[in-house]
Chain A
Amino acid sequence: MATKVLMPKLSDTMEEGTILKWVRKEGEKVKQGETIVEIESDKADMELEAYDSGVLRKILIPEGGKAPIGALIAVIGEANEDIAALLADAPSPQPAKKEEKKETTVPIPSQSAAPMSTAPQHAQPGDGKVKASPLAKRLAKEHSLSLGSIPGTGPQGRVVKRDIESALSGKMPVSRAAATIVPGTAQEVPLSPIRKTIAKRMTESKNTAPHFYVTVEIDMEPAMAFREQINNATDVKLSFTDIIIKASAAALMKHPMVNATYLGDKARQYHYVHIGVAVALEEGLVTPVVRNCEQKRIDQINHELRDLVERARNRKLKPDEYTGATFTISNLGMFGVEDFVAIINPPEGAILAVGSIVETPVVKDGAIVIGHTMKVTISADHRIIDGAVAARFLQDLKKFMESPAALTL
């Protein structure tokens, strides 16, 4: 019996996937458990295995095409089986290129009659007025959307019903470039799925979580000495990030409200510390998660993080390896940034922004000497964390960083 191959949900935030590569082609035999297609989600590339053995009868979404979760992307069946009934449910494809659309012969169900081929336009140069259909205006008002922030796909950039629907479903960024662009002086770059997810989640975080920021300066001489001792005496190649992770975990265990999620009428405090580490990729940020940092030795953290970062760069992380963090660390120290503030990664309650280690005059025993310091800034969700709580957390973090031997207990 023929079976449908559906676009899988590869992460909690995934809404649609892009077909990267069909490993098997139409007409080829496939075995259960064998990879048939590689799919790009908003977070990572994943391989999809066949649930059944048979012949890959029909590919509905070509390489580079996109489909929403649950949409039919292929059919596996016997070589001569009639699969017309299964194909009747096929979605309207959203191919990568416009030219490909004409070649696709998938029947379009009547519900999706609203066309999706037109790229958003912006109002004509010099015309500052936002154009919108009466229906779009009414819908925008009903949903408290600002019409000016929704790209219009109608004539002369008119905002029409489908644009409101896109904005409501989060498929289109609710932002608008300057209306007056001289042709040829700018280019529009499509956003990667990762970029779109970041845009959506960061907006959500800043719009819902009232952020506040507290900075502390840490004397890094002890941590530098600690790292040098370990790296000289063992095969381990500790990084400062490893030490910051372990120190954060130790401090978070003492301040459970910083290791928590706001849930409206309550806060969920975690009894474990899963730390997400922001890793910059060309397409956008991913945050692989080191789990149970409160229980792990620094060298274990070092080992795991190294592996996770490596696989993040190769886009080979599995969904459970970049989700579920209770706290995130973002380190821009390697770029010479002395201090900065980060946006909380929801549903977490706080994030730590780590600056560079700076050679600086410090006062020691009444004398000015050359020392090494590092600034860290916590961004905290004020709904569950007060300034004093954040400050006390930083106080403990500083204490651990300045007494790294304590982290080995």
Chain B
Amino acid sequence: MAIVSLREALNQAMDEEMARDERVFLMGEEVAQYNGAYKVSQGLLQKYGAKRILDTPIAEAGFAGVGIGAAMVGLRPIVEFMTWNFSLVAYDQLVNNAAKMYSMSGGHFHVPIVFRGPGGAAHNLAATHSQALESIYAHIAGLKVIAPSTQKDAKGLLKSAIRDENPVIFIESEVMYGEKGEIPEGEYTIPIGVGEVKKEGTDVTIVSWSKALQHFVMKSVPELERLGINAEIVDPRTIKPMDYDLIVDSVKKTNRLVVVEESYPFAGVGAQISHEISRRAFDYLDAPVERVTQEDVPLPYNSKLEKASLPNVEKIVRAVRKVMYMD
């Protein structure tokens, strides 16, 4: 086991895949000369040269389209968005080209591309720079969406994403780039679409991913334990395709479900999970599924309001108490 930061884990994944397959290349704003806005591509220019590590203009729609074209003709691009907020400029490329090309070309063109970068709120970046967009991309048929919560999952899943024959949306947590965790020694991958129980429990299932899992759910565990609640924490790791079986198995055991996510409530990933669980585990539910999300407002800049708008321990404990009929 090695202890690495999230950015190092992601760097290792790209490094290993670039060494393994010369068709893999990285492009994006500041990824080469500056070693990445968040230093995820540290050292890669030096190692693989300017042909495979490309700085782009500030033109997301343009370089996303270039990446899709490169993928169609046989390369395996990794396109970094400085943050996922900027991907909205390239939304048409992702939704109408990357997601649909394979289907609309009658299977002639695969688009093996990874779009990656940080998502979610950091601190005081205000409404336009703080968005968790996984539900928006998961909504689109033809896109896979991954949002890892650990260094180990990030590395293993990014490697799988780079090797996948289809476009993958890979959303990292900006505030977790410097956080460290264990990863296995040597080569490993984690399959797309397979979740993991991050903490076993008996009383309630909490589904969460990415930063919401590490920063909100895990931090609510001591308070839940103080209340005598042994929560099972399930991380789907991949948002789409979702590992419903894992969640269903957990809910059959606990009879209660709370979904915690950083996205907005309306048509959020939690809404989709709630539906699938009410369909697949209806007779095992002892209470309606509860959700904790960002409040349905553009995220305020003000620190206190920002905190109040995001999921937090208090909101999670309240939701858990509700499904346990403790109030």
1/0 contact string of B173-208 vs chain A (CB within 8 Å): 000000000000000000000000000001100000
Contacts of B286 in A (CB 8 A): 133-136, 160-161
Whether B287 and A133, one on each chain, are in contact in the complex, defined by CB atoms closer than 8 angstroms, is yes
User: Which positions 115-167 of chain A face chain B at CB distance < 8 Å?
Assistant: 115, 117-118, 133-138, 153-155, 160-162
Contacts of A109 in B (CB 8 A): 228
Answer yes or no: A267 CB below 8 A from chain B CBs: no
Whether B283 and A154, one on each chain, are in contact in the complex, defined by CB atoms closer than 8 angstroms, is no
Mostly helix, strand, loop or mixed at chain B's interface?
A: loop
A155 to chain B, nearest CB (A): 7
Whether A137 and B283, one on each chain, are in contact in the complex, defined by CB atoms closer than 8 angstroms, is yes
Whether A112 and B287, one on each chain, are in contact in the complex, defined by CB atoms closer than 8 angstroms, is no
If A110-B229, A113-B230 touch, whether A155 touches B325 (CB-CB below 8 Å) is yes
Q: Which of B225, B229, B285, B326 contacts A133 (CB 8 A)?
A: B285
B74 to chain A, nearest CB (A): 51
Contacts of B48 in A (CB 8 A): none
A32 to B98, CA, bound (A): 82
Answer yes or no: B284 CB below 8 A from chain A CBs: yes
Contacts of A136 in B (CB 8 A): 286
Count of chain A residues near B, Cβ 8 A: 23
Answer yes or no: B255 CB below 8 A from chain A CBs: yes
A112 to B230, CA, bound (A): 10
A134 to B281, CA, bound (A): 9
Whether A134 and B285, one on each chain, are in contact in the complex, defined by CB atoms closer than 8 angstroms, is yes
User: Which positions 252-291 of chain B face chain A at CB distance < 8 Å?
Assistant: 255, 282-287
Answer yes or no: B324 CB below 8 A from chain A CBs: yes
A137 to B284, CA, bound (A): 9
Whether A161 and B255, one on each chain, are in contact in the complex, defined by CB atoms closer than 8 angstroms, is yes
Answer yes or no: A92 CB below 8 A from chain B CBs: yes
Answer yes or no: A114 CB below 8 A from chain B CBs: yes
Count of chain B residues near A, Cβ 8 A: 17
A258 to B255, CA, bound (A): 50
Contacts of B324 in A (CB 8 A): 113-115
Contacts of B283 in A (CB 8 A): 134-135, 137-138
Whether B284 and A135, one on each chain, are in contact in the complex, defined by CB atoms closer than 8 angstroms, is yes
Answer yes or no: A108 CB below 8 A from chain B CBs: yes
Whether A110 and B230, one on each chain, are in contact in the complex, defined by CB atoms closer than 8 angstroms, is yes
If A114-B324, A161-B255 touch, whether A108 touches B287 (CB-CB below 8 Å) is no
1/0 contact string of B220-232 vs chain A (CB within 8 Å): 0000010111100
A77 to B255, CA, bound (A): 41
A108 to B226, CA, bound (A): 8
A115 to B230, CA, bound (A): 13
Whether A110 and B225, one on each chain, are in contact in the complex, defined by CB atoms closer than 8 angstroms, is yes
Contacts of B229 in A (CB 8 A): 110, 113
A163 to B61, CA, bound (A): 58
A225 to B167, CA, bound (A): 106
Nearest to B202 among chain A residues (CB) is A110
Whether A115 and B282, one on each chain, are in contact in the complex, defined by CB atoms closer than 8 angstroms, is no
1/0 contact string of A165-189 vs chain B (CB within 8 Å): 0000000000000000000000000
A158 to chain B, nearest CB (A): 8
Contacts of B282 in A (CB 8 A): 134
If A110-B202, A110-B229 touch, whether A115 touches B285 (CB-CB below 8 Å) is no
A308 to chain B, nearest CB (A): 45
Nearest to B204 among chain A residues (CB) is A113
Whether A92 and B228, one on each chain, are in contact in the complex, defined by CB atoms closer than 8 angstroms, is yes
Nearest to B255 among chain A residues (CB) is A135
User: Which positions 77-109 of chain A face chain B at CB distance < 8 Å?
Assistant: 92, 108-109
Whether B203 and A113, one on each chain, are in contact in the complex, defined by CB atoms closer than 8 angstroms, is yes
A114 to B324, CA, bound (A): 7
Nearest to A162 among chain B residues (CB) is B325
Contacts of B203 in A (CB 8 A): 110, 113-114
29 pairs of residues in contact across A and B, judged by CB atoms under 8 Å: A92-B228, A108-B227, A109-B228, A110-B203, A110-B225, A110-B228, A110-B230, A112-B228, A113-B203, A113-B227, A113-B229, A113-B324, A115-B325, A117-B326, A118-B325, A134-B282, A134-B283, A134-B284, A134-B286, A135-B255, A135-B285, A137-B283, A138-B284, A153-B325, A154-B287, A160-B325, A161-B255, A161-B286, A162-B325
A interface, CB within 8 angstroms of B = 92, 108-115, 117-118, 133-138, 153-155, 160-162
Closest 3 CB pairs of A and B: A108-B228, A110-B230, A135-B286
B interface, CB within 8 angstroms of A = 202-203, 225, 227-230, 255, 282-287, 324-326
